[in-house]
Structure 1
């Protein structure tokens, strides 16, 4: 295979990754306008072209990387690493950085500049992390890396789209059935039509018909509004705006968001590289992560306040039969969409309901891989590693409910002409509602740094299963140190914002608890010593 090729699997992969990226940009646009006051013209002319730069840089590189690996190993089944806007960072930056800045200043451009600052800092962490990630990967059991991904796949990917599917079953069931038939049942559709393409087409047709049963997907005027944004928007260099806000005071103010999000991006990308290797495609860790960081920095330089990341889902795209070209097709397509202002029109023509079946299937495949690509007796470790992600997802739901209720309360107070400022916030719950149907403190503690927590607990269980008590103890000590400095479990409530605490020790409970656990494992090591060796090698 001397030249780039486009296979049927690449087309399926392109439709899946394209829909995924479109969803990110649609959510990004809606939140920037609705929460931070961005005018549509600013998003269309500045933010989206900047995001296109980052998407093009990464997708083209990862397509080339997969092609080169295929050339070097004489294989034609290498699948490129998926890549796109980081969903978790998107929400974190908007709600905890850009929205508070917009509230304080009333200026959407100041909110945008604050977003550029945290995205730039996150990109630097990704670049620096690329030089350390290979070591982390070497000393971490595969079950610990894959279980954290599976937790995200089950919660933040699968559950969201599963709930949407059951919200509109008459639209979503048939596209999902098409995907399941082709990729689980190996059914070939007439004329060789790719399942991903057929699923989207059927979803669009059913969406058009939805008005007949009283649940219309398409809104009046949507296409006309989409046509109004058409044009050509060349990426605008935004380095001057970035440097205007790149101060020590601002970095310190946003440190509690920058550090965990940067670490989250590095660890998440690292886990996705491990997932690719478990599927048979071994990519260089440092280079893959370095380009990921460079993509974020490139997007920031051209006005995108949202970092990119190596996406979860490589085994899913591989199962679709996608190879290297699906990634390049997605990068080029998203660039054209962003540069020519096509986002509004595509949003009007292809609703989320039409393409979410592919993304749901990807989540299922990722979760399956966590159990299939490890020794069978390590499966309990995967189950343990899944649990922290559920806490992270629960906190997101709880937080969104409180944001919604607080917004409704402010609307009612405004209508009543109330002078007193009253808020419905998470920070008031422990004081006013001490008896809750769930352990709020436990949910919040487990959710903070849940990716790292997932790795730690899954690794401990792996080494307990292997009766390697000293290694289990080392991971417990790592957890004690990380909890002491606030990388995991530490949080601070400010209204409905949940912030990490790095400046002091939030409490001694977790460091002492993990220290006690490490002592217990060492005690067992003393009673039943195992062969000596590096306590981290596996």
Structure 2
């Protein structure tokens, strides 16, 4: 074992700006969504959620840096690169749009909405902790194509769709940012290659926003009132108060927790391929426990292994870059710099980056899915499309001062809006997407008994209103109709299994 000190290398500068910019983008996005989209009071966002959010990222970053130092000591290598730490970008949107927004819209109680979000984050963290001990078992439960396809739907519809619409509301800013993304992150020959692309996008978008008059000095002056010292504080009581009411909103935690587990595992394996062999259980436990700490301090968003280890290593990064990024993520909300940064950096400069994240998420599943399984990708998209459309339709009707019940499903259907279909397919989208992905893939690869199990699981989920229903409840509304349909599907899978066995037996007899 060799004595190794934490040293700052030239490559750490580029990696720090790249990782810090990406993480800072997620922080600004999170604060912007909570304040401007959901309507959570600024004192809660800046004074409670953001500091705890930064603390969780910092703790994970410290652990990753320690793991890097230990690996360097054990191997005697000087080229060890620490794992990058950051928030789970999909979780930011899932918690915001599937938990915090609907709860706040229904109750008008920001405290209650956050309590539910804390329980969601805790469940997500426990999936990561449990996954660290279960290892490969979780990967074998659900085909990888299904998990990636579910996440691609979330990426396109929750991450990318609304940001793309926002981008088209301010084209003089967003079009240039989008083009830089296409050139630098999708293309082969980047522009201004020496500048980290994330930083370049924020600078270009911010400059264009100020030139276009979208940002004003008055906003900066007003934002300075939020300056202050906001140390994280314990909010275990909020978590406990949310426990009895959180069940209807936990459907999204399971598939996203499993998907985060798979992506974490893939990022760790990517580090292994680059020569940095980190202990999977330790890394996964770090993510789960850091997320739990953030939850108990009032933050509903989990942390994860961030993408790009191979890229940071190619830049010559060592260990210091991930620690410096974590410290920055802690300092910004600690001193109330978030409002000031949002006054300088507009959302119109950030949203094209979210389009990129959504597209990359979807592109990954297309790139890595076997050709025969490609239809599964599109099957998994339907619940997410319905969920997004249902949210839009409900928002439009609310803005008009009416509801679907007042208008009537028949009147909506005459205008081509199949509202009941949107309600059934869109509610419980994360689990419905995964379920239908499993049904499709087991049918395609001819695993009828596993398909039957998936159908029975679908019947149980429908029976309790976890999917295809606006609220959780036993045998309520149209749930029995879906239970029957799923059981019929399971029976069909069993018939397929029987026919396959008979055909196989017949072929054996014929060959003899």
TM value normalised by structure 2 = 0.81
Query: How far apart are the structure 1 equivalents of 2:181 and 2:298?
Result: 37
The residue aligned with 2:187 is 185
The residue aligned with 1:502 is 473
The residue aligned with 1:341 is 336
Q: How far 1:83 moved relative to its partner?
A: 1.8
SS at match of 1:260: coil
The residue aligned with 1:15 is 21
Q: How far 1:204 moved relative to its partner?
A: 1.6
Query: How far apart are the structure 1 equivalents of 2:226 and 2:493?
Result: 62
Moved more, 21-30 or 276-285: 276-285
1:237-257 deviation line (CA, Å, top 9, x unaligned): 334x538xx46xx64444323
The residue aligned with 1:443 is 422
Query: How far apart are the structure 2 equivalents of 1:473 and 1:284?
Result: 36
Answer yes or no: is the 8 Å Cα contact 2:93–2:159 preserved in 1.
no
1:312-366 deviation line (CA, Å, top 9, x unaligned): x837995996877665444322321111111111011111222333332222222
Structure 1 residues 102 and 483, CA gap change in structure 2 (3 angstroms): closer
Aligned pairs for 1:35-434 within 5 A: 38=41, 40-41=42-43, 43-61=45-63, 80=84, 82-84=86-88, 86-98=92-104, 100-102=106-108, 111-112=110-111, 114-115=112-113, 117-129=115-127, 130-131=129-130, 134=135, 135-190=137-192, 192-210=194-212, 216-239=213-236, 241-242=237-238, 246=240, 251-257=243-249, 259-273=250-264, 276=267, 290-304=285-299, 306-310=300-304, 314=307, 328-406=323-401, 424-430=402-408, 433=411
Answer yes or no: is the 8 Å Cα contact 2:409–2:418 preserved in 1.
no
Q: How far 1:64 moved relative to its partner?
A: 5.6
Structure 1 residues 225 and 3, CA gap change in structure 2 (3 angstroms): same
Structure 1 residues 48 and 290, CA gap change in structure 2 (3 angstroms): same
Which of 412, 420, 441 aligns to 1:462? It is 441
Q: How far 1:150 moved relative to its partner?
A: 1.0
Q: How far 1:262 moved relative to its partner?
A: 3.7
Query: How far apart are the structure 1 equivalents of 2:447 and 2:441?
Result: 9
1:362-416 deviation line (CA, Å, top 9, x unaligned): 222221110222322221222222222212222222233234333xxxxxxxxxx
Q: How far 1:148 moved relative to its partner?
A: 0.7
Answer yes or no: is the 8 Å Cα contact 1:70–1:78 preserved in 2.
no
Answer yes or no: is the 8 Å Cα contact 1:142–1:274 preserved in 2.
no
TM value normalised by structure 1 = 0.77
Query: How far apart are the structure 1 equivalents of 2:310 and 2:167?
Result: 21
Answer yes or no: is the 8 Å Cα contact 2:118–2:295 preserved in 1.
yes
Moved more, 434-443 or 115-124: 115-124
1:493-538 deviation line (CA, Å, top 9, x unaligned): xxxxxxx313444421212111111211221221123999xxxxxx
Answer yes or no: is the 8 Å Cα contact 2:210–2:216 preserved in 1.
no
Residue 501 of structure 2 is aligned to residue 522 of structure 1? no
Count of aligned positions: 482
Query: How far apart are the structure 2 equivalents of 1:284 and 1:481?
Result: 37
1:420-466 deviation line (CA, Å, top 9, x unaligned): xxxx2344444683534122122222222222222222233223232
Query: How far apart are the structure 2 equivalents of 1:531 and 1:53?
Result: 59
Answer yes or no: is the 8 Å Cα contact 1:182–1:195 preserved in 2.
yes
Q: How far 1:190 moved relative to its partner?
A: 4.7
